[in-house]
Amino acid sequence: MTYGERFEEALRYAARLHRAQLRKGTNTPYVTHLLAVAAVVGENGGTEDEVIAALLHDAVEDQGGAATSEEIRRRFGEAVAATVDHVSDTDVFPKPPWRERKEAYVAGVRDAPRSARLVSAADKLHNARSILRDLRAEGEAVWRRFTGTKKETLWYYRALVDAFGAAGGLEELVGELDEVVGKMESEAA
């Protein structure tokens, strides 16, 4: 499979939306995360729509809420917008409380369409890899980056592994996520 002009436009659009954003607690441009998630989706058999959704998966949550969702729908179609909407934990500003959002997100994973689970699992895998790498480099200081405490963050990732596993259909990707989360848990203990 090759990607066409819609992918190129999504890449430009994602880069524009997130150009001033950095990864939490780092000097790493946020777009690197979007590219990594898109790569994981593509490497796990994702369609062009799913790879585009991966590039845009944080746009609604971080860059404009419902208006951005509508712009994605207009530019890239219903399938991409629906996946992005499923993967977003909120389109409301200010965001609802952290625990409430995360519990709702985990509960929604089991019933989410496969496209949304693929993009979400890829997102969580890249996030978990980043946390593990930074935990090894910085130690306990890494947990201060997040709204949730260390215990809550570890709960969230373990709950996601369980929810993705229960939903089925992404065994290899979920297995890799489980492995990385297990290392996070061991090194955080």
Cβ 65 vs Cβ 91: under 8 Å: yes
Cβ 41 vs Cβ 83: under 8 Å: no
Q: What's CA 177's distance to the chain center, in Å?
A: 12
Residue whose entry in the numeric block shows the structure tokens 């490497």: 43
For residue 36, the tally of other CB atoms under 10 A from its CB is 18
Distance CA 119, CA 88 (A): 11
Residue whose entry in the numeric block shows the structure tokens 């799913």: 50
Q: E-strand spans in 25-99?
A: none
∠ CA 148-69-65, nearest 5°, is: 45
Element holding 72 (H helix, E strand)? helix 65-76
- Which tokens hold the place of 125? 């895998």
Positions marked active-site = 61-62
For residue 95, the tally of other CB atoms under 10 A from its CB is 15
